[in-house]
Chain A
Amino acid sequence: MAIELTVNGKAASVDAEPDTPLLWALRENLGLTGTKFGCGVAACGACSVHIDGQYARSCSIPLSEVAGKSVTTIEGLKSADGTLHKVQQAWIEQQVPQCGYCQSGQIMAAVALIDRVGTPSDAQIDEAMTNICRCGTYPRIRKAIHAATGKAAIAVQGEA
């Protein structure tokens, strides 16, 4: 029986077993491969997405739990006209990715953090950014989060 949900703002129907992790439904049923498999036990965060706006590790959330909910993946962060999210732009400006494999998850975690607290402090970054990066891009992740939020503040001032 198909499970209905919203993915990146569009209605989606996934014909998979209810215990299938959201990660594999996204990757294999919906072809959204930007969300990555890293560990399968919610230890690394490579599979991070947003469910109804909340940060979640999709490898450990069964499809049945997201029926009727709204899921956002890395592919859904761009605005309708293709403009990158300010966090994605900051990731390019700060040259964050190395191998890049964990970065979809890092960006989803950063966006969720910024959505939640606005301009995060270092302590809030420490607490929220728990995804693993084996390449060790942490210092640039921190810089990019600050840059993304600093720029947002400037933009708001400019508009006023």
Chain B
Amino acid sequence: MADNPNPNLDVETPETRPKRKGVKRRAFLIGSALLAGGGAFGLWWGDSSAAKRAKALTETGKDHNFLSWMKIAEDDVVTVYSPHIDFGQGSHTALAQMLADELDADWAKVKVEQAPADTAFANTPLGKGFLAEMSGYPGVINALPTAILSMITRSMPLQITGGSSAVRYTGQVGMRAVGAAVRLALIEEAASRLGVAASELATADSKVTHARSGRSLRYGELAAGAALRSLNSEAKLKERNDYKLIGKPVPRMDIPAKVDGSAIYGIDFTLPEMRVATVAAAPVRGGKLVSVDEKPAMAVKGVEKVVKLDDAVIVVAKGYWQALKGLQALSPNFSDGGHAGVSTASVYAAQDALRKGGKPDNEGGEGDVDAAFSAAEAKLVEAEYRVPFLHHAMMEPFALTARYKDGKLEFWGGLQDPLSARTRAAKAADLSVDDVIFHPMIMGGGFGRRFPDVTEIIDQVALLAKQLPYPVKLIWSREEEVRHGTYRPQSSAHLKAALDKDGRITAWRTDYVQSGDAEAETSFIYAIPATSRRHFAYQSNQIDGPWRSVNSTQIGFYNESFIDELAHAAGHDPYQFRRKHLPEGSRYQRVLDEVAKRSGWGTPLPAGVGRGIAIVESFGSIAAEVVEATVKEDGNPKLLKAWAVVDCGTTVNPLNGEAQISGGMIMGLSSALGEAINLDKGAVVESNLSDYPILKLADAPPQIDVHFIESGAKMGGLGEPGVPPASPALANALFAATGKRVRELPILAQAKA
């Protein structure tokens, strides 16, 4: 540790988090692990084949590539290659800020581009960061959705975007280190050209300057020589006070093209001679295509071909409308895969039965919960909660364009992990990965839906393209999108706690039923002597996928609703009650105090208006939110005001961070109010955005007050942590307003019933 050149990278947080059963606490410092010793990070890749491929894919002859992370052109333009996709979370700009800050680059001449889907651009720091933390450091393990974990262990290297990982891993460990190392190489090159000591040189605005002689060299002039130098893997990173770009509200680079219609998303991409196709898969997940008479589709003007897959039928036409009309003319016969008995009610019934009768599949916690429950003076409180499947509703429906020619498959579109997209397409089309090229494009949202692992449109388009002599764009209708999602799982839970005579929680048990174990990914932040979290595994016929903030949505709702119930049972204020169960002087308390202060917690409210508070730690960040709400004459809630306070350690771009937290909070409120995917006879009931109600502007809080606490602690994510506290904060506000406790989501469905 003593020779760690960058102690500011790996601040170990001093939380006195309760220890977890079966997890050895070890202060694993990701920064030093990756930066100490060039071998660990591999900053010099010499003449490896990866280096050659990276150069071939990006160099134009007038620029020079460094480590496949960036290049400098002779006109000083720095291009940063992001291994992450930017689907609106702003990480491209944030990553470029981090690299450019360490490089002392002129921000006006910095560009960011999506890295090509090639292993030469794989995101090794992300993989290593994840794996290092998996090896025993629990504090940030909560960053790892189960789906991502499984992908990592199966497939390195990575280009994943997820787990709110871009800035805190790729940025902190990759971008900054590369920027700092290239800056040193530029200084060395300048020292040799000017014949002076490197220590006499300074950098700023993409120039190396020798103050004594008044001479300077531009980065563009130095790039060719610097690119041949070995890069220092232990380059010292800037201290907080020296940041010029990190922490600044830099406007996002991608926004101008998103206001004039010029941004080209996957669905906008075209090729000469391209046809358009659309698909209907078996309505019941697990069902197969039994038969289909192609003739009615072929009779539609513009339809050229009907393609049958194992579980779907695809219509290919000149344009989307013709393909859709062709598809609608068909009466395909699908099997139900034996799932005809599955409904929303049957899933909850099966979950209840499993929880009551079965034994848990996984257990976390500490202390003797049962002994505390049976203590003589214990006051017991119990409650059951339920949450439905949720649809991602990314605004751009799935669309991939593919061309199969001369034994090679090329495809275009927006997916959260370009490298594994390639692998999946190769497998589906029975090709070697080298014969598959993927061109990642910007995406109209994703929220966890675009992980190749759960994205069957890759198989569909690969199989389709192989059968066609021309390129084809396969577009999913919104109906297909709603009915064949990879949903946030339907989940239910029974919570039980004991209060002592002073109103302190002595024991807490959560029994929850859903497909995946949430223990490694979610945080239980309260200091309670005995806790037990028991997971009962239940899998419906649906595919459960990561949905923005993953398991923290429902676990956050359970914990933060229940602790509110406990506060009321103890006769205490919900804010003060939480506070006294959090470690004294902890970051949790500071975040909670700040949101209480900003929201005027405890000040009088008009009759019928209630305030609710919630705090959830997810993806390495702590977020507390307050919602003010009332109930309208029609019985539905009305959101009045909202506040969020977040400690993510350091905010790289506060302007964008505010947008992420505010947007995440609105997504959480939307899901709590009205969103549900229901099942009947094994199939999804909802059909489109007309019956899957997403919060609209008029119903969202007019303003959300977002505040960041710059604690300097280990950096956490921002894409997801705004979501989990929103639904319990709203439910708690409604309880405060009406005295009626929300224990099942969505709220609107019950208001109607």
**Interface readout for B207-224 with A: 1 if CB under 8 Å, 0 if not?**
000000000000000000
* A137 and chain B: residue at smallest CB distance: B663
Cβ B663 vs Cβ A135 within 8 A:
yes
Cβ B251 vs Cβ A92 within 8 A:
yes
Stretch at the interface among B67-75, B282-290, B695-703: B695-703
Cβ A95 vs Cβ B319 within 8 A:
no
Instruction: Tell me which residues across on chain B come within 8 A of A19, comparing CB atoms.
Output: 321
Known: A99-B395, A142-B702. A75 touches B260 (CB 8 A): yes
Instruction: Tell me which residues across on chain A come within 8 A of B321, comparing CB atoms.
Output: 16-17, 19-21, 24
In-complex Cβ contact of A126 among B87, B445, B688, B697 (8 A): B697
* Docked complex: A117-160 residues within 8 A CB-CB of B: 122, 125-127, 129-142
Cβ B703 vs Cβ A44 within 8 A:
no
- Complex: A133 Cα to B695 Cα, angstroms: 8
**Interface readout for A34-46 with B: 1 if CB under 8 Å, 0 if not?**
1111111101101
Cβ B88 vs Cβ A132 within 8 A:
no
Cβ A16 vs Cβ B319 within 8 A:
yes
Cβ A92 vs Cβ B261 within 8 A:
no
Q: Does A28 contact B (CB under 8 A)?
A: yes
Q: Does B174 contact A (CB under 8 A)?
A: no
Cβ B688 vs Cβ A32 within 8 A:
no
Cβ A32 vs Cβ B704 within 8 A:
no
Cβ A139 vs Cβ B701 within 8 A:
yes
Instruction: Tell me which residues across on chain B come within 8 A of A20, comparing CB atoms.
Output: 319, 321
Instruction: Tell me which residues across on chain A come within 8 A of B270, comparing CB atoms.
Output: 31
Q: Does B53 contact A (CB under 8 A)?
A: no
Cβ B478 vs Cβ A40 within 8 A:
yes
- With both chains docked as a complex, state the minimum distance between the C-beta of A40 and any C-beta of chain B, in angstroms: 6
In-complex Cβ contact of A36 among B444, B479, B660 (8 A): B444
* A108 and chain B: residue at smallest CB distance: B261
Cβ B666 vs Cβ A136 within 8 A:
yes
Cβ B477 vs Cβ A136 within 8 A:
no
Instruction: Tell me which residues across on chain A come within 8 A of B365, comparing CB atoms.
Output: none
Cβ B688 vs Cβ A99 within 8 A:
no
- With both chains docked as a complex, state the minimum distance between the C-beta of B730 and any C-beta of chain A, in angstroms: 14
Known: A92-B255, A134-B667, A139-B701. A74 touches B261 (CB 8 A): yes
Cβ A101 vs Cβ B689 within 8 A:
no
* B477 and chain A: residue at smallest CB distance: A40
Q: Which of A20, A99, A125 neighbours the largest number of chain B CB atoms within 10 Å of its CB?
A: A99
Cβ A100 vs Cβ B700 within 8 A:
no
Q: Does A33 contact B (CB under 8 A)?
A: yes
Instruction: Tell me which residues across on chain B come within 8 A of A114, comparing CB atoms.
Output: none
Instruction: Tell me which residues across on chain A come within 8 A of B263, comparing CB atoms.
Output: 100
- With both chains docked as a complex, state the minimum distance between the C-beta of A93 and any C-beta of chain B, in angstroms: 9
Cβ B478 vs Cβ A98 within 8 A:
no
In-complex Cβ contact of B659 among A37, A46, A95, A127 (8 A): A95
Cβ B445 vs Cβ A95 within 8 A:
no
Instruction: Tell me which residues across on chain B come within 8 A of A16, comparing CB atoms.
Output: 319, 321
In-complex Cβ contact of B259 among A88, A99, A136 (8 A): A88
* Docked complex: B464-523 residues within 8 A CB-CB of A: 475, 477-479
Instruction: Tell me which residues across on chain B come within 8 A of A75, comparing CB atoms.
Output: 260-262
* Docked complex: A36-73 residues within 8 A CB-CB of B: 36-41, 43-44, 46, 73
**Interface readout for A80-100 with B: 1 if CB under 8 Å, 0 if not?**
000010001001100111111
Cβ B268 vs Cβ A33 within 8 A:
yes
Q: Does B264 contact A (CB under 8 A)?
A: yes
Known: A34-B261, A37-B475. A99 touches B443 (CB 8 A): yes
- With both chains docked as a complex, state the minimum distance between the C-beta of A125 and any C-beta of chain B, in angstroms: 7
* B704 and chain A: residue at smallest CB distance: A139
Q: Does B265 contact A (CB under 8 A)?
A: yes
Known: A41-B688, A75-B261. A139 touches B396 (CB 8 A): no
Instruction: Tell me which residues across on chain A come within 8 A of B262, comparing CB atoms.
Output: 34, 75
Instruction: Tell me which residues across on chain A come within 8 A of B265, comparing CB atoms.
Output: 33, 36, 101
Known: A37-B267, A77-B260, A95-B656. A44 touches B689 (CB 8 A): yes
Cβ B395 vs Cβ A35 within 8 A:
no
Cβ A36 vs Cβ B395 within 8 A:
yes
- Complex: A127 Cα to B697 Cα, angstroms: 9
Cβ A41 vs Cβ B690 within 8 A:
yes
- With both chains docked as a complex, state the minimum distance between the C-beta of A158 and any C-beta of chain B, in angstroms: 24
**Interface readout for B645-669 with A: 1 if CB under 8 Å, 0 if not?**
0000000000110011011111100
* B395 and chain A: residue at smallest CB distance: A101
Instruction: Tell me which residues across on chain B come within 8 A of A137, comparing CB atoms.
Output: 659, 663
- Complex: A24 Cα to B267 Cα, angstroms: 12
Instruction: Tell me which residues across on chain B come within 8 A of A7, comparing CB atoms.
Output: none
Instruction: Tell me which residues across on chain B come within 8 A of A132, comparing CB atoms.
Output: 393, 395, 689, 694, 696
Instruction: Tell me which residues across on chain B come within 8 A of A28, comparing CB atoms.
Output: 276, 319-320
Cβ B322 vs Cβ A17 within 8 A:
yes
Q: Does B90 contact A (CB under 8 A)?
A: yes
Cβ A97 vs Cβ B258 within 8 A:
yes
Q: Does A5 contact B (CB under 8 A)?
A: no
Cβ A133 vs Cβ B395 within 8 A:
yes
Cβ A130 vs Cβ B319 within 8 A:
no
* B447 and chain A: residue at smallest CB distance: A134
Instruction: Tell me which residues across on chain B come within 8 A of A129, comparing CB atoms.
Output: 696-698
Q: Which of B260, B394, B442, B447 neighbours the largest number of chain A CB atoms within 10 Å of its CB?
A: B260
Cβ A126 vs Cβ B260 within 8 A:
no
Cβ B319 vs Cβ A134 within 8 A:
no
Cβ B89 vs Cβ A98 within 8 A:
yes
- With both chains docked as a complex, state the minimum distance between the C-beta of B107 and any C-beta of chain A, in angstroms: 16
- With both chains docked as a complex, state the minimum distance between the C-beta of A46 and any C-beta of chain B, in angstroms: 6
Instruction: Tell me which residues across on chain B come within 8 A of A101, comparing CB atoms.
Output: 265, 394-396, 443-445
Q: Does B296 contact A (CB under 8 A)?
A: no
Q: Which of A88, A97, A134, A141 neighbours the largest number of chain B CB atoms within 10 Å of its CB?
A: A134
Closest 4 CB pairs of A and B: A34-B261, A101-B444, A99-B88, A136-B666
Instruction: Using CB atoms and an 8 Å cutoff, list the residues of chain A in contact with chain B.
Output: 16-17, 19-21, 24, 27-29, 31-41, 43-44, 46, 73-75, 77-78, 84, 88, 91-92, 95-104, 107, 122, 125-127, 129-142
Cβ contacts A to B, 29 pairs, < 8 Å? A17-B302, A36-B265, A36-B395, A37-B397, A37-B475, A38-B395, A38-B689, A40-B478, A43-B689, A43-B690, A74-B261, A92-B251, A92-B259, A97-B255, A98-B660, A99-B88, A99-B394, A100-B254, A100-B263, A100-B444, A102-B444, A126-B698, A129-B697, A131-B697, A134-B395, A134-B667, A136-B665, A137-B659, A141-B697
Known: A36-B267, A39-B689. 18 other contacts (CB 8 A): A16-B319, A77-B260, A92-B251, A95-B252, A98-B88, A98-B89, A98-B660, A98-B663, A99-B395, A100-B259, A101-B444, A130-B696, A131-B696, A132-B696, A133-B697, A139-B700, A139-B702, A140-B659
